[in-house]
Structure 1
Amino acid sequence: MADTSPLALAKELLAILDRDEGRLKRIDRFIQGRHDDPYMPPQADDEYKLLAKRAVSNWMPLLIGTPAQALYVDGFRPGATDTSGLPQDSSSKSPAWSHWRRSRMNARQAAIYRGALGFGHSFVLTEKTKKGVISKGLSAMKTAALYEDPANDDDPYAALTITAKPKGDARGKARLFDARHEYAVTFKSASDLDSVRVVGKKLHGSAECPVTRFAAQVDLEGRTLGVVEPMIPLQNRINQTIFDLLVAQTYTSHEVRYATGMAPPLQVEYLDEDGNITSDPALAVDARPKLGPDGNPLPAKINHNARRFLFAEDPDVRFGSLPAGPITPLIESVDMSIRHWAAISQTPPHHMLGQIANLSAEALDAAEISLSRKIAEFRSLFGESWERVFRIAAEMEGDTTAQDDYSGEVQWRDMESRSLAQSADALGKLAEQLGIPKRGLWKRVPGITQSEYEDWEELAEDEDSVAQLANALKRATPPTSSAPASADREAVAA
């Protein structure tokens, strides 16, 4: 039977972090723009190396940012009911959304998505603090979790996150979580498992491990994969093509002039009366060609530009020029690689090439349908993770109903680019032609926030209350009789 003691779990999790460190650091290096050097000759000089640095075109932030900018949780709709049988409050005053606001997730959620998209997974820790129950994101480079079935389980049975790395004689620190307790862990190095120590223990307030995994993609082997690692070979190919383009642009894209049958002028050094080399030609009594380290005369530098003419006294001297080399094939190769990138990464080509002229709305929708499907997949995966976070937070806050709420769901903001007039027209048709309740369509108004939605509900309730009061007063007031007035008119007429 496997050892599940806190010390054994800490060693296993630190070993996982040590094993994955090289792979995750390489992914992080590519995200930051520190890519592999393109191929160059072994004797390449400093100019070649400078061109290699300038050849880096970092597409990785676009690869992460394009789907991440369409992921924004805007609300949470509980699915459970309270003891009276009524649905729970889904407003920001509910415990679930109060926990969200307390954790400042409106701003912090983006880092969690970007970490998951970049490395394949990230984590969220839910814990009790003096301010209440809050959640915060954890990096995949510092956090690892263990699952009985990593492909299908949402609940890890243990997780560890490093809070301080070893530095000099100071030991590293980490926090270990299992189903009931939190442990303080110290270590000298992630690779030195004999130095691992468990030095503290306390209850964390949940019946499950309070660390939740946000995975961009999980296969049936339990392996997570982000959007960066599969694109590294293609990124290197683009960098190599751009490097070749810069080299061709620098050395062969210009016309080269040449001369044949003419010896270049030589560098001269002057000698004084004692035969010593002098830098003052006025003191020189003799001159001789200056020799290089190999004993051969050194040619003098020729100051030649477009304003100077070349001429020679020897009639056998011939002048000519070499034509410039073409760079169009290299430019076409860069465009082809970018199109391959767009197809493999499901990124619309106009996001990368900037070619959106003369495209109809239907063509733009067709170009972005692949990206929309990818975003829908991420929303489904991350939504399940957020629902677990809300259940754990409810359990720590003592909400027994919400902690077992497996039918609640997060609400994603509609980030599609549509005008307000188009949306209003579509929502109006849904209400009139299909009979959908108008309040049920409020959430689909583009750009509406949870607070604005709640204000609309309160205003609508106030208007309903005023209308009901007016109807009640109207029903309670008896109609005035018109008989006495008609009798008076008859008497006057008589």
Structure 2
Amino acid sequence: MADTRPASLAVQLLAILGRDKDRLTRIDNYLHGRHDDPYMPAMADDEYRLLAKRAISNWTPLLVNTPAQALYVDGYRSGDDDGKGSATDLSSPQWEHWQRSRLDARQSAIYKGALTYGHSFTLTERVKGVVLTKGLSALRTAALFEDPANDDTPYAALTVTRQPKDDQLGLARMWDARWEYVVKFRSLSDLESVRIGSKVRHGASECPVTRFAASVDLEGRTVGVIEPMIPLQNRINQTIFDLLLAQSYGSTKVRTVTGMAPPVQRDPETGEVVYDEQGNPIPLPINHNSKRFLFAEDPDVKFGSLDETPLGGFIDSIDMSIRHLSAISQTPPHHLLGQIANLSAEALQAAETALSRKIAEFRAVFGEAWERVFRLAAELESAAGVDDFKGEVIWRDMEQRSLAQAADALGKLREQLGIPAKGLWKRVPNVTQTELDEWDDLADEEDSVGQLASALTRATADPEPVTADSVTVAA
């Protein structure tokens, strides 16, 4: 039977942070451009090391930002008793909690953390009488699950609020199904120093920490978008380093001369040749550049040149590696290479297909996590929606389409398939939930005004005159 004492849970959670520290720190370094150095000779000088530093070409932020910028929650539709989603209500307790927590701006950091490290977390808690949700970093937070592959509710979770330094102990907050604990520790490797301090009820019926996982396999392992791409990133850096070496040392023609001895130093008084310690004459420096010419009186002297190193192969190798990065990461190549000229709308859409599928997968897993956050907030606020497992978050349509194309397509759906106009509103490019609600109110007003006008027209209409042709006489 597992040990569920608070001290034991704290030890396990701190051990997880200690175990994953090196791996997550390496991912964090690659995100911020602190990459492994490319290969260079062991006796490389400062000039080589400067070129190695300049060879770092950081593509990893683009792998994170591209899908993250397409993830934007724009509303929440609560479920009804029949299992169907009700109309989105921006005045619902769930959406009020969202706005109060300022998640419009803060949601992006949660997605980027999950995409970078494989997972991130949110904490839903009562702060000064108000229920708020905030993000927690994977570098400082760990969670325990009974079934990490299938459970969305942690058994316990811990986040470090102060790292240990010198003689100052580290501090952490830990939550289980009922309590929040203060945890003190000396270091992540000194688990014998873990001590549990005070505890208070957090008010929820389960752990208030929610995991946002980009990808979870059946073993419960999470993986982000950066870690699998590190070998390809290293390959690109190595090729760029080789390109810089060739560009610095071999990209210009080298002029050669044979059969000519350089001038040597001579004693200014005697005119005799000055020799070094090895007995060799000391040559004088030659001030030679593209503006100067060399000539020789001796007919045996030969001038020549060595061709420059072609750089096209290095550039092609870099392009190939970037294309491999594009294919494996499901990022459209024109996002990485910047080549978008002469692409038709159909070709551009085909290039975006893999990315769209990837984003749809992220929306599915992150949407489930947000729904748990809303249920936790409803419980802490004693509001409706505690058992709302039928609700769903509404993601903003970030696909780029021209308004003219969308209007033409929506008009055809309305005319040919008979889809109600209101059902097509949400497919208007870049429309927000606020605008949809405003349109709905305006449509109701227009409908009411139209019905009133029709009623007034019927009430004030003149009766039809009676004519002889319209009268039927009974025999």
Q: TM-score range by the shorter chain?
A: over 0.9
Q: Which residue of 1 aligns with 2:32?
A: 32
Cα distance in 2 for partners of 1:169, 1:267 equals 66
Structure index of larger Rg: 1
Cα distance in 2 for partners of 1:189, 1:325 equals 53
Q: Contact 1:151–1:220 (CA<8 Å) still a contact in 2? A: yes
Farther off after superposition, 215-224 or 459-468: 459-468
Q: Which residue of 1 aligns with 2:395?
A: 412
**Residues 467, 298 of structure 1: alpha-carbon distance in 2 compared, 3 angstrom cutoff:** same
Cα distance in 1 for partners of 2:114, 2:271 equals 74
Farther off after superposition, 387-396 or 422-431: 422-431
Cα distance in 2 for partners of 1:261, 1:78 equals 90
Q: Which residue of 2 aligns with 1:304?
A: 288
Q: Which residue of 2 aligns with 1:164?
A: 162
Out of 184, 187, 208, the position equivalent to 2:185 is: 187
- 2:381 paired with 1:397: yes
Query: For 1:444, what is the secondary structure of its paired residue?
Result: coil
Q: Contact 1:80–1:402 (CA<8 Å) still a contact in 2? A: no
Out of 389, 401, 410, the position equivalent to 1:427 is: 410
Identify unmatched segments of 5+ residues in structure 2: 468-475
Instruction: Trace 1:134-145 onto structure 2 (pairs within 5 A).
Output: 134-145=132-143
CA offset at residue 472 of structure 1?
A: 5.7
Cα distance in 1 for partners of 2:16, 2:276 equals 60
**Residues 267, 459 of structure 1: alpha-carbon distance in 2 compared, 3 angstrom cutoff:** farther
Out of 432, 450, 455, the position equivalent to 2:433 is: 450
Query: For 1:125, what is the secondary structure of its paired residue?
Result: strand
Farther off after superposition, 177-186 or 308-317: 308-317
Out of 347, 350, 355, the position equivalent to 1:371 is: 355
**Residues 7, 358 of structure 1: alpha-carbon distance in 2 compared, 3 angstrom cutoff:** same
Q: Which residue of 2 aligns with 1:316?
A: 300
Cα distance in 2 for partners of 1:129, 1:474 equals 59
Cα distance in 2 for partners of 1:395, 1:373 equals 34
Cα distance in 2 for partners of 1:140, 1:442 equals 38
Q: Which residue of 1 aligns with 2:338?
A: 354
Out of 120, 127, 130, the position equivalent to 2:128 is: 130
- Residue-by-residue CA offset, 1:335-379 (whole Å, 9 max, x unaligned): 111111111111111111122222111111111111111111111
**Residues 28, 288 of structure 1: alpha-carbon distance in 2 compared, 3 angstrom cutoff:** farther
CA offset at residue 380 of structure 1?
A: 0.8
Q: Contact 2:60–2:226 (CA<8 Å) still a contact in 1? A: yes
- Residue-by-residue CA offset, 1:181-236 (whole Å, 9 max, x unaligned): 11111111111112211111111111111111111110110000111000100110
CA offset at residue 312 of structure 1?
A: 3.1
CA offset at residue 431 of structure 1?
A: 2.6
Give the letter for the 1:234 counterpart. L
Q: Contact 1:215–1:224 (CA<8 Å) still a contact in 2? A: yes
Q: Contact 2:84–2:390 (CA<8 Å) still a contact in 1? A: no
Q: Which residue of 1 aligns with 2:14?
A: 14
Cα distance in 2 for partners of 1:23, 1:86 equals 43
Q: Which residue of 2 aligns with 1:343?
A: 327
Cα distance in 2 for partners of 1:213, 1:356 equals 37
Cα distance in 1 for partners of 2:204, 2:319 equals 53
Q: Contact 1:81–1:87 (CA<8 Å) still a contact in 2? A: no
| TM norm structure 1 | 0.89
**Residues 268, 176 of structure 1: alpha-carbon distance in 2 compared, 3 angstrom cutoff:** farther
Cα distance in 2 for partners of 1:481, 1:356 equals 68
CA offset at residue 93 of structure 1?
A: 0.9
Instruction: State the aligned residue count.
Output: 467
Query: For 1:266, what is the secondary structure of its paired residue?
Result: coil
Q: Which residue of 2 aligns with 1:277?
A: none
Give the letter for the 1:357 counterpart. A
Q: Which residue of 1 aligns with 2:473?
A: none
Out of 229, 232, 237, the position equivalent to 2:230 is: 232
- Residue-by-residue CA offset, 1:1-37 (whole Å, 9 max, x unaligned): 2111111111110110011000000001111011111
Farther off after superposition, 261-270 or 218-227: 261-270
- 2:33 paired with 1:48: no
**Residues 263, 479 of structure 1: alpha-carbon distance in 2 compared, 3 angstrom cutoff:** closer
- 2:431 paired with 1:462: no
**Residues 380, 259 of structure 1: alpha-carbon distance in 2 compared, 3 angstrom cutoff:** same
Cα distance in 2 for partners of 1:145, 1:289 equals 80
Cα distance in 2 for partners of 1:188, 1:269 equals 72
CA offset at residue 170 of structure 1?
A: 1.8
Give the letter for the 1:71 counterpart. L
Instruction: Trace 1:28-177 onto structure 2 (pairs within 5 A).
Output: 28-81=28-81, 90-130=88-128, 132-177=130-175
**Residues 125, 296 of structure 1: alpha-carbon distance in 2 compared, 3 angstrom cutoff:** farther
- Residue-by-residue CA offset, 1:274-332 (whole Å, 9 max, x unaligned): xxxxxxxxxxx567766667675443221111111112344433222111122222211
Q: Which residue of 2 aligns with 1:439?
A: 422
Cα distance in 1 for partners of 2:204, 2:41 equals 60
Q: Which residue of 2 aligns with 1:222?
A: 220
- Residue-by-residue CA offset, 1:118-171 (whole Å, 9 max, x unaligned): 111111111112262111111110100000000011111100011111122221
Query: For 2:295, what is the secondary structure of its paired residue?
Result: coil
Query: For 2:321, what is the secondary structure of its paired residue?
Result: helix
Farther off after superposition, 441-450 or 54-63: 441-450
Cα distance in 2 for partners of 1:262, 1:86 equals 93
- Aligned residues: CA RMSD: 2.4
Out of 230, 242, 245, the position equivalent to 2:243 is: 245
Cα distance in 2 for partners of 1:136, 1:293 equals 73
Q: Contact 1:80–1:88 (CA<8 Å) still a contact in 2? A: yes
Give the letter for the 2:425 counterpart. W
Cα distance in 2 for partners of 1:251, 1:467 equals 80
Cα distance in 1 for partners of 2:240, 2:287 equals 32
Farther off after superposition, 237-246 or 254-263: 254-263
Give the letter for the 2:334 counterpart. H
**Residues 481, 76 of structure 1: alpha-carbon distance in 2 compared, 3 angstrom cutoff:** closer
Cα distance in 1 for partners of 2:284, 2:418 equals 91
